[in-house]
Structure 1
Amino acid sequence: MIFTLLAILFVLLFTGAPLMLGLLIGPVAVVALYMPDIDLMWLTQQISGGVEVFSLLAVPMFIFGADIMSMGHTSNRLLDLVNTFVGHVKGGLAITTAATCTFFGAISGSTQATVVAVGKPMYSKMVDKGYGVSESLALIINSSNIALLIPPSVVMVMYGVVTGASVGELFIAGIGPGLVVLAFFCIYNYFDAKKKDTPVEEKSTWAERGTAFKKALLPLGFPAIIIGGIYAGLFSPTEAAAASVLYALILEVVIYKSIKLKDIPSIALSSGMVTAVVFILVAAGASFAWMFSLGRIPQMLTASILGTDPSAIKILTVVSIFFFVACMFVDQLVAIIILAPIFVGPAAAAGIDPIHLGVIVTLQSAIGSATPPFGCNIFTASAVFNKPYMAVIRKTVPYFVMFFIVSALMIFFPQVALFSRNLLY
């Protein structure tokens, strides 16, 4: 049964069929071949039930908010602020890019929106200052991955929906590892620029920094609304998503006037199309996950791979490998829908904090966004900057190494993944 299910999925994938067809046709074929007594209506209920989750309302809101800010002035104001403080040090432009991706991630929660909003203005600046094309692209697509760790994160919302973990705690927990990754990127680019003697910009005065801070003060209100509101108990993550959209509209339409009211319908249409794709994948993935559960595939896989009474380190290592490989080929949300239920039970039995597991899953999903062959950030950057596939991925190895180091730290030292959550909760 499992062979038939996976064979149908991979055959359709390699023939170029949409992913949702593989996720839908496989379960239907398995029910028809191996479980003729089961009414297909059950499968239909699983498909519809997959998207009938209140927490999923945050997904279209975060996507809509990210689209509004990508077209507005938010990213440029954040870039100017960070650049006034670090632009004069070695690797300053690279550090500015990484830090701004982190800030923008705390606003949008989308890696692809971050590639576009931050990457477009920074790419030409970095190349003009002597950074290589592939070096600049590698930094942009990997720094944008931090957006999945820094709240709000669509991946964390999906993990919470699938496993029942607290989305609010996941949001807070992601801050610590996100800042650790940022620190690694900044240190690497400082020494790399020093080695290559990359030119730096003139040091900004404190007056210029003050001006940049005033301009960026309102965009910095986004993380305050999302993180502060959730922590203070003012609203849920879903309500925070709606509040961020309202704030984005006020900021870009009323205050900055970077977007006109007539532009909102086209932005909403674009967000709606992306949301539709996400929800179709979620619904199809729910049927696939139900088939896995019905065939007791999670129990068979965990018994054969993890063995009896596995340690927490072994479980987390296997989880990291599974999600890293899966996100190289399929969308992160689909990987979570299919794989997360397999490991939640063994992880709980081993005493692993579900938030710890969720942060590790999110990190592997982030790495997969920039990993060949099908990392979404790779194709986004290739399209946005009109560069060939190989040029985008040529200099990504150092960033993968740093991501893997952070993964190992979180596996062996859980406090690396949990210290921000424990600090606030």
Structure 2
Amino acid sequence: MATTMLLIMIVLMLLGFPMMVPMLVATLAGFLLYLPNLRTDIIIQQMISGISPVALITVPMFILAADIVTRGRTANRLLDLAMTFFGHIRGGLAVTAALSCTMFGAISGSTQATVVAIGGPLRPRMLKAGYEDKFTTALIINASDIAFLIPPSIGMIVFGIVGKVSIAELFLAGIGPGLLILVLFSAYSVWYAWRKDLPLMQRATWKERLAAMRKASLATMFPVLIVGGLFTGMFSPTEVAAMAVLYAFILEVFIHRAVSLRDLPAIAYSTGLITGIVFILVGAGAAFSWLISFAQIPQQIIGGLGLADAGPYTIIFAICVAFFIGCMFVDSIVVTLILTPIFMPLVLAAGIDPVLIGTLVTLQMAIGSATPPFGCDIFTACAVFRKPYLDVIAGTPPFILLLLFASLLMVIFPQIALFLPTLAFR
């Protein structure tokens, strides 16, 4: 059964069908060929059940907030703020890129939006300052992936729903690894600048820094609102998402006046389109997950791989490898929907903290989104920067190695991810 479903999915993907079609067709084939006595309307019931959790309300709201700020001035103000404090050091422009991607990711939660918003204005400055094109592009792509970890993260929302893990704890758990990756990327950027002997920029005065802080002060309230609301227990993830939309609307429409009321229908259309895709994937994934669970395919796969009696580190390694390879080829949400039901029973049986697993899985999603052959951020960069595919991926290996090193550190020192959730909720 598992082999047949896998072959159906591979063939349909090679034929160019959108991912929800292979998942649904494979699920229907599994029902008809191997479970003919079950009513096929169970598929519809499971799809509806999959998109019913209240936590999924956060998805369209975070997407809407990201769409609003992407069209506004928030990205440029964050960029200017980072530039005034770090632009003068050796490798300061690269550090500014990594920091700006982190700050904007804390607002948008979208890697692709971060590539567009930060990469668009910053890449020409870095090229003019003497940075190699392949380094610049790779840094922007991979630093944008910190948006997967810094809340809000749609990947964490999907994992939390499928794996039945607290989304609030997952959000807080992503902060430590996100900051760790920022430090690693910044250190590598400084080393690169010293090795290339890149020129220093003029140091900003404190007057310029204070002016940049004043202009960006309202933008920096986004992470305070999200993280502070969750950490104090004042807001649930759903309420935080609603507050993010309200704050983005007030900030860009009435204060910055960068978005007009006439722009809102186009923004709503974009949000609805992305949300529709995500919800169809989640619904199809729920039906697929129910079928493989009913047929006990996860137990067969785990038994075949010899993981049933494996230790915690072996299980964690297997999960990281599976998600890393899967996200290299298929959309990360799809990989999460397929693999999470397979591994979660094993995680719980082994006594591994599911929040740690969720954070590691999200990090593999981040790595996969910028890893050849099919990382989504690669194709976003190709379109935004108008660069060939091979040129875009040329500089990615060092950053991928740093991300894998961050994964290793999280396994060895789980408190990198678990410190804040433990402090807030346990």
**What is the rounded CA distance, in whole Å, between the counterparts of 1:249 and 1:272 in structure 2?**
17
What per-residue deviation string (whole Å, max 9, x for no partner) do you get for residues 85-127 of structure 1? 1100111111000001111111111111111111111111111
Question: Could you tell me which residue of structure 2 aligns to residue 83 of structure 1?
Answer: 83
**1:240 corresponds to which letter in structure 2?**
V
Give how far 1:81 is off.
0.5
Give how far 1:271 is off.
1.0
Trace 1:307-318 onto structure 2 (pairs within 5 A).
307-318=307-318
Trace 1:348-363 onto structure 2 (pairs within 5 A).
348-363=348-363
Q: How many residues align?
A: 425
Consecutive aligned runs of 4 or more in structure 1 exceeding 6 Å deviation: none
**What is the rounded CA distance, in whole Å, between the counterparts of 2:248 and 2:231 in structure 1?**
21
Question: Could you tell me which residue of structure 2 aligns to residue 2 of structure 1?
Answer: 2
Give how far 1:331 is off.
1.3
Give how far 1:424 is off.
3.6
Trace 1:239-250 onto structure 2 (pairs within 5 A).
239-250=239-250
Question: Could you tell me which residue of structure 1 aligns to residue 414 of structure 2?
Answer: 414
**What is the rounded CA distance, in whole Å, between the counterparts of 1:161 and 1:308 in structure 2?**
24
**What is the rounded CA distance, in whole Å, between the counterparts of 1:207 and 1:306 in structure 2?**
63
Question: Could you tell me which residue of structure 1 aligns to residue 194 of structure 2?
Answer: 194
Question: Could you tell me which residue of structure 1 aligns to residue 295 of structure 2?
Answer: 295
Trace 1:147-186 onto structure 2 (pairs within 5 A).
147-186=147-186
**What is the DSSP-based 3-state SS (H/G/I as helix, E as strand, rest coil) of the residue aligned with 1:418?**
helix
**What is the rounded CA distance, in whole Å, between the counterparts of 2:190 and 2:239 in structure 1?**
39
What per-residue deviation string (whole Å, max 9, x for no partner) do you get for residues 277-336 of structure 1? 111111111111112112211111112224342111101100000000111111111111
Question: Contact 1:101/1:118 (CA < 8 Å) preserved in 2?
Answer: yes
Give how far 1:423 is off.
3.6
**What is the rounded CA distance, in whole Å, between the counterparts of 1:9 and 1:23 in structure 2?**
6
**What is the rounded CA distance, in whole Å, between the counterparts of 2:160 and 2:36 in structure 1?**
33
Question: Could you tell me which residue of structure 1 aligns to residue 99 of structure 2?
Answer: 99
Which segment drifts farther, 291-300 or 305-314?
A: 305-314
Tell me whether 1:220 sits opposite 2:220 in the alignment.
Answer: yes
What per-residue deviation string (whole Å, max 9, x for no partner) do you get for residues 194-244 of structure 1? 100112210011111111001110001101111111122221111111110
Question: Could you tell me which residue of structure 2 aligns to residue 394 of structure 1?
Answer: 394
**What is the rounded CA distance, in whole Å, between the counterparts of 2:284 and 2:134 in structure 1?**
36
Tell me whether 1:12 sits opposite 2:18 in the alignment.
Answer: no
Question: Could you tell me which residue of structure 2 aligns to residue 325 of structure 1?
Answer: 325
Question: Contact 2:23/2:284 (CA < 8 Å) preserved in 1?
Answer: yes
Give how far 1:348 is off.
1.4
**2:268 corresponds to which letter in structure 1?**
A
Question: Could you tell me which residue of structure 1 aligns to residue 262 of structure 2?
Answer: 262
**What is the DSSP-based 3-state SS (H/G/I as helix, E as strand, rest coil) of the residue aligned with 1:328?**
helix
Q: What percent identity do the matched residue pairs reach?
A: 50
**What is the rounded CA distance, in whole Å, between the counterparts of 1:6 and 1:139 in structure 2?**
35
**What is the DSSP-based 3-state SS (H/G/I as helix, E as strand, rest coil) of the residue aligned with 2:174?**
helix
**What is the rounded CA distance, in whole Å, between the counterparts of 1:29 and 1:352 in structure 2?**
34
Question: Could you tell me which residue of structure 2 aligns to residue 336 of structure 1?
Answer: 336
Question: Could you tell me which residue of structure 2 aligns to residue 125 of structure 1?
Answer: 125
Question: Contact 1:289/1:337 (CA < 8 Å) preserved in 2?
Answer: yes
**What is the DSSP-based 3-state SS (H/G/I as helix, E as strand, rest coil) of the residue aligned with 1:203?**
coil
Question: Could you tell me which residue of structure 1 aligns to residue 280 of structure 2?
Answer: 280
**2:12 corresponds to which letter in structure 1?**
L
Structure 2 gaps of 5+ residues are: none
Trace 1:3-152 onto structure 2 (pairs within 5 A).
3-152=3-152
**What is the DSSP-based 3-state SS (H/G/I as helix, E as strand, rest coil) of the residue aligned with 1:189?**
helix
Q: CA RMSD in A?
A: 1.0
What per-residue deviation string (whole Å, max 9, x for no partner) do you get for residues 241-285 of structure 1? 111011001000000000110001101101111111111111111
Question: Contact 1:156/1:170 (CA < 8 Å) preserved in 2?
Answer: yes
What per-residue deviation string (whole Å, max 9, x for no partner) do you get for residues 36-60 of structure 1? 1111011111112111111011111
Question: Contact 1:313/1:412 (CA < 8 Å) preserved in 2?
Answer: no
What per-residue deviation string (whole Å, max 9, x for no partner) do you get for residues 1-44 of structure 1? 11110000000001111111100111111211111111101111
The TM-score with structure 2 as length reference comes to 0.98
**2:233 corresponds to which letter in structure 1?**
G
Structure 1 gaps of 5+ residues are: none
Question: Could you tell me which residue of structure 1 aligns to residue 378 of structure 2?
Answer: 378
**1:418 corresponds to which letter in structure 2?**
L
Question: Contact 1:152/1:226 (CA < 8 Å) preserved in 2?
Answer: yes
Give how far 1:357 is off.
0.7
**What is the rounded CA distance, in whole Å, between the counterparts of 1:234 and 1:306 in structure 2?**
44
**What is the rounded CA distance, in whole Å, between the counterparts of 2:217 and 2:246 in structure 1?**
17
**What is the rounded CA distance, in whole Å, between the counterparts of 1:116 and 1:60 in structure 2?**
20
**What is the rounded CA distance, in whole Å, between the counterparts of 1:36 and 1:194 in structure 2?**
66
